[in-house]
Structure 1
Amino acid sequence: MNLISVSELINTLSAAEKRQFKLMAQKQQKEKVYLYLFDLVAASGNTAIVKAAFKKAYPSSSLDISARYLHKLLCDMLVRNQLKNDASLHLIQGLMKAKLLRQRNLTNQAIKQTRQLLSGYGTIDDLLLKYLLKREELNYLSEVQFKNISEKQLIAEQQIARDLLKNIRNLQEHYALYELLKYRLIRSAPRGKPGHPGCFNDLLLEELAIINSRAKQNPESQKLHLLFQSFYFTYTGNYPAALKTFYLLNSLFEKNKALLQHPPLDYFDTLDGLLENLKAVHQYDHMPYFINKLSLLENKKYPAYFNYLIKKTVLLFELEILIIKGEWLKAYGSIQATPVWVRNEFPSVQPQKQLLLLFYYSLICYKNQQPGKAKKILTPVITSRQDHNIFYNVCRCFNIVLHYESNDMEYLDYEIRSYKRFTAARQSPIPNIEKLLFKTIALRPWLQTAFRNRQQLKKLTAIITTLQQNPVENSLLKYFNFMEWAIAKFEQ
C-alpha cells in the first residue's frame, strides 16, 4: 500500500474513528512512526508535504513500510468495528473459527460453532455463506462416522445443501443477465431516448426462463429481476411500466429491512440509480418521493462517511430538479441554507458526486451573477486533474466561461493555453463544444458592432449544426449550454 492509498482511507474516517485509532495506538509504550505518519496525512492531504515532513522527522525509516503498516492497522480497526453490525462479516468470522477448531481436532467445538451460526442465519440473505456452513456441518458428520443421525436425516441435510447451490446458481444467472443488459445499454443510444426492444430479446427470454423455474426467488433475486425490468422499460420508452417497477423495487427493500447491509449501500445504490433513471426520462414529479426515501437512510448508527454521502446525494438531486426547472434564485437559497461542511466533508467518498456537487454550486452562483464566487467554488474541480474525463473537460470549459464573464482576459488566455496543452495528447478530434467556445472568445464579440457579430454568427452555423446533430456532445449541454451562451454573446 502506498501513501496515496493510506491517504484515501484516512479521508473516509470520521472524527470519532480517528480518535479511536489514536487512543488504540497510544496504548503502546514505544515510539510509533506510523502514528506520526497518520497525523501528517490527517493534517495535510498533500503527498509531497507528507513525504518531506516524514523524511525530515525519520530519515532512517521507510515511508513505504510505515504506510503499509498504517493501512493494515486502520483496516483491522474498521473490520472490528464492522463486526458489531455486519451479519455477513460475523458469519465469515464464525466460519473461520470453526475451521481453526477443526484443524486443531476440536471437532465438537467446531460443530457447535457451525450449528450456532446456522440456527441464527434466518435473517441473513447470503446464500454462499449459508452453503459453506452447511458443507462444514456435513463434513463434520462424515468425520464422526454419522453418529446419532439416520439416513433419512442425512438426506434431508444434503437436500438443504443442494437447494442452496440451486439458489446460488439462480442468483448468478440473474446477475449475468442484468450485467449484460447494463453493458448493452451503456454502449447503445444515449439515455433518455427510447431504443428498439429487439436487441434485448435473447436476454428477455432467458430472464423469463429463470423467473418461471422452480428455484426459490429470494429477495436478492427479486431485486435483480426488478432492476432488469426497470432498465429495460426505461430504455424502450415504456415509462408507466418503468415507474411501477421503481415503486415495487423500493417496496421490496422496505419489506426486507432486516436484510439490509450496515450501512445499506445496496439500497442507496438502488435509489440513486432509480433517481438517475427518472431524471434521464424527465419524470421529475416522481423524484421527490425517492429523494425522501433516500434521506430516510441517514442514521446515527451508520458510519459518518455514509451519512454525509446521503446528505450530498439528496442535495445533488434537489439542486438538479431546480436547475432543470430554471429556478436559479431558489437553488441559490438552497445552497445558502446548507452548511458548508456538508459540501466539504468526506470529499473522497464517491468523488464524482463531490465534483458534480461543486460544479452545480458554481453554476448556480454564476446564474445569480456571481462569477467570482463561482470561480472559487470550481477551483477544487479544476485542480483534481481527472485526465480525459468528459465531465472534467466540461468543467474546464465552464471555467473559461467564468473567466470571460469576469472580464479576466489576461488569465483567460493562460487558461485557454493550459486547456489546449491538457487535451493535446488525446487521439480523438477536437469536440465541437470546444471549437465553438474558443472561436467565440477569439472573435471578441464585445468589441464588434451588432452587424459584424451577426455576420460572425453565420460563420459558426456549421459548428452549431454539427454540435446539435452529435448525440454525445449534445448530451453534454445538460451541464451548461455552451451553444446558447455563444449565440447570446453575438446577439447582445
Structure 2
Amino acid sequence: MSSFTALQALVHSLSKAEKRYFKLFCDLQTGNKIYFCLYQLLEKKEYGPEEITTIMSKKYPEAVIETARKHLYRMLMKSLRSFESDKAIENRLMQRIQDIKILFNKGLLELCFGELERAMELALKYEKFSYYLILARLELQYLTLLEFPDTDENALITKQEKINQVLHQEQWINRHFTLDEVLLHRYLHNGPVRSQLEINKLNDLLLEEFQVISNKHHHSILSKKLHLHFQSTYFLMTGNHPESLHLFKQLLVLFQAHQHLLLDSPLYYIYLINGILTDLRSMRQHREMPYFIDCLRRIEPASESLALFIQHLLYLHQIILALDLGNYAQGEILIQTYKKEILNKVKVIPPNADATIHLAMALIYFGLHQFPTALHHVNYVLHQSSKYISHQVYSLCRILRLIIQVELKNDDYLYYELRSVERKLKAEEKLFKTEKLTIQFLKKWIASNRAPKHLELFFRNVKEIMQDPYENQLLTWFDFISWTEAKLTRQTYAQLIQAKNKEMVC
C-alpha cells in the first residue's frame, strides 16, 4: 500500500464524530492550510491519487504535495490522539506521564510529585502495573537527581520493595495472559476438539495455568478475570458447554461488579458474551439467546471498528438463531440488512468471523432451496486463505459444497471434487469420522446412480456416529441426519428442521 493510499484509507476510516473533531481542531490552527484542502479531496472518495495530485498542483502551484501529505498525516494523528485522550486508562496515564515530565523540567516540584502520587494510585487501582513501574522508576530517578529530599533510607527501601512486588505480580499476570492467548488462538484456528487426542494436547496449557494460579502470591481482579476466561474457553473448546456457561456467567458477574473492566477491556467482554451465546446454542437453549444478544447491543464501543465488530456479531447470532429454529425467511431478511450495512466494510472484521457468517448465510439459503446462492457463500469462504479460518468452519464449507453439488445434480463435477477434498483432508490429518463417512457415501452413491441402499446405509451410520460427542458438534451447524431423512422420505430439509424444532418446544 502506497503512503498516499494509506492516508486515503485513514481518512475514510474516520467516524462522523472524529471528522467533526478534526475540522474543529484545524480551525484552531493558524497559517496556510493546504493540508486541509488535501483532506477535503480525500474525504470525497471521488478521486484517485493521480487526480488529487493534479487538482492540488493547479490550485497550489508552488506547494509541495508530499509535504502537504505528511503534514495532513501528522495533524490527523494528533487530532485522533486528542479525541481519544480521556477514553482509556492507558491514555490518561500516558498523559499524566507527559505532564509529570513537563512539571519537573519547569521546576514545579510539589506539583510534579503530587501528580506522580496520584498517577501511581490510578495505575494500581486499575491494575496497570506496567504503567506503575514506569511512574515508580520516574519517581526514583527524580529523587536521585534531587539528592533524596525528605526521604530516609527506610522510605527509599519501601519504594524499591513496592517496585519489586509489582514487578513480580506483572510477571505472573503476563504468564497468565500468554496461556490465555495461546488457548484462544487454538480455539479460533482449530475450533472445538474432535478427539481425545486433541484434548490431551490441551492438558499442557491446563497444567501450566494451574501452576500460575497456585504460585501467585498476589490476587487481583485482573488475575481472576484471566482465570475465568481461560477456564471457560477451555470447557467451550472441549465441548463441556454447561461448565463453560457457568464460568462465563461468573465472568459476567465480575464485569458487572467492576465496570472499569468493561471500559478497559471491551474486547474481552465482547468475547465473553459471544462465548455465552455459543454455549447456549450448543445446548439448544435458544430462548435465553435474545437476552444476551441484547447485552451485545447495549455495549458502547470506544471506536468505529469495535462498533462494526459488535454489529457483525449481532447479525451473526441473529442469523444463527433463525437458522437453528428453521426461520429461513427471517434469516434471509437479516442477511439482506447485513449486506446493506456491513458487507462493504469487512476489512475490519476478523477473517474467521467473516467466514463464519458466510457459512451461516449459505445454510440459510440451503434451507430456502436457493442452492446457487448457498454455493456462492460457501465458495467465498473456500477462496479465502485457510490459515486465517478455523478448521471446523473451513471443513464444514468443503463438505457443504459437496452436498450442494448433490442438490444441483452436478455429478461429473462431484467425481473430481470428492477426490480432491479427501486428499486435502488426509494431507492435513483432519479427516475425522463424519467427513470420512460422508465422502465415502457420496462416492458410492454417485457411482451407483444414487441407489437408495447407499442412502439408507448412510442414514443408519450417521445416526450412530452422531452419538459420539466429538462428532455431534457438527450437527450444531448442519443436520446430516435430517438431510438424509429428507432424501429418503422425499420431504424438504427445511420441513424436517422445522418439525424437529416444534417437537423440542413441545
TM-score by length of 2: 0.68
Moved more, 28-37 or 85-94: 28-37
Moved more, 148-157 or 246-255: 148-157
Within 5 Å, which residues of 2 pair with 1:245-284? 245-261=247-263, 264-276=266-278, 279=281
After superposition, the Cα gap between the structure-2 partners of 1:78 and 1:172, relative to the gap in structure 1 and judged at 3 Å, is: same
How many Å separate the matches in 2 of 1:490 and 1:89? Answer: 63
How many Å separate the matches in 1 of 2:212 and 2:176? Answer: 8
Letter in 1 for 2:367: K
Within 5 Å, which residues of 2 pair with 1:230-241? 230-241=232-243
How many Å separate the matches in 2 of 1:397 and 1:202? Answer: 32
Asked if structure 2 preserves the Cα contact closer than 8 Å seen for 1:194 and 1:236, the reply is no
Residue number in structure 2 paired with 1:29 = 33
Residue number in structure 2 paired with 1:420 = none
SS at structure 2 position matched to 1:261: helix
How many Å separate the matches in 1 of 2:205 and 2:475? Answer: 33
How many Å separate the matches in 2 of 1:10 and 1:406? Answer: 45
Asked if structure 2 preserves the Cα contact closer than 8 Å seen for 1:311 and 1:342, the reply is no
1:36 to partner: Cα distance: 4.9
1:399 to partner: Cα distance: 8.6
Asked if structure 1 preserves the Cα contact closer than 8 Å seen for 2:120 and 2:136, the reply is yes
Within 5 Å, which residues of 2 pair with 1:170-185? 170-182=172-184
1:268 to partner: Cα distance: 1.5
After superposition, the Cα gap between the structure-2 partners of 1:190 and 1:369, relative to the gap in structure 1 and judged at 3 Å, is: closer
Residue number in structure 2 paired with 1:350 = 349
TM-score by length of 1: 0.70
Letter in 2 for 1:386: Q
1:221 to partner: Cα distance: 0.9
How many Å separate the matches in 2 of 1:31 and 1:363? Answer: 49
Matched, 1:14 2:18: no
Residue number in structure 2 paired with 1:148 = 150
Asked if structure 1 preserves the Cα contact closer than 8 Å seen for 2:194 and 2:471, the reply is no
Letter in 1 for 2:51: A
Letter in 2 for 1:232: Y
How many Å separate the matches in 2 of 1:279 and 1:111? Answer: 54
Q: Deviations over 1:247-272 (max 9, x none)?
A: 11111111110243368223213332
Within 5 Å, which residues of 2 pair with 1:389-400? none
Matched, 1:38 2:39: no
1:214 to partner: Cα distance: 5.6
How many Å separate the matches in 2 of 1:22 and 1:399? Answer: 50
After superposition, the Cα gap between the structure-2 partners of 1:343 and 1:355, relative to the gap in structure 1 and judged at 3 Å, is: farther
Within 5 Å, which residues of 2 pair with 1:309-320? 309-320=309-320
Q: Gaps spanning 5+ residues in structure 1: where?
A: 45-49, 418-424, 446-450
SS at structure 2 position matched to 1:233: helix
Q: How many residues get paired? A: 470
How many Å separate the matches in 2 of 1:261 and 1:106? Answer: 33
1:32 to partner: Cα distance: 4.6
Q: Deviations over 1:49-81 (max 9, x none)?
A: x24533554579999887665554433322211
Letter in 2 for 1:78: L
Within 5 Å, which residues of 2 pair with 1:85-104? 85-102=87-104
Letter in 1 for 2:82: R
After superposition, the Cα gap between the structure-2 partners of 1:369 and 1:280, relative to the gap in structure 1 and judged at 3 Å, is: closer
Instruction: Determine which structure has the larger helix proportion and give its number.
Output: 2
How many Å separate the matches in 1 of 2:382 and 2:76? Answer: 25
Residue number in structure 1 paired with 2:166 = 164
After superposition, the Cα gap between the structure-2 partners of 1:217 and 1:63, relative to the gap in structure 1 and judged at 3 Å, is: farther
How many Å separate the matches in 1 of 2:265 and 2:46? Answer: 27
Moved more, 180-189 or 310-319: 180-189
Q: 1:114 aligns with which of 91, 116, 141?
A: 116
Residue number in structure 2 paired with 1:53 = 51
Residue number in structure 1 paired with 2:220 = 218
Moved more, 98-107 or 474-483: 474-483
1:280 to partner: Cα distance: 5.6
After superposition, the Cα gap between the structure-2 partners of 1:311 and 1:452, relative to the gap in structure 1 and judged at 3 Å, is: closer
Q: Gaps spanning 5+ residues in structure 2: where?
A: 417-423, 491-506
Moved more, 361-370 or 82-91: 361-370
Q: Kindly report the root-mean-square deviation, in angstroms, between the aligned alpha carbons of the 2 structures.
A: 5.6
Asked if structure 2 preserves the Cα contact closer than 8 Å seen for 1:13 and 1:305, the reply is no
Residue number in structure 2 paired with 1:307 = 307
Asked if structure 2 preserves the Cα contact closer than 8 Å seen for 1:177 and 1:207, the reply is yes
How many Å separate the matches in 2 of 1:133 and 1:237? Answer: 44
1:455 to partner: Cα distance: 8.5
**Matched-pair identity in %:** 25
How many Å separate the matches in 2 of 1:362 and 1:43? Answer: 34
How many Å separate the matches in 1 of 2:381 and 2:22? Answer: 31
How many Å separate the matches in 1 of 2:398 and 2:53? Answer: 36
Residue number in structure 1 paired with 2:130 = 128
How many Å separate the matches in 1 of 2:265 and 2:71? Answer: 26
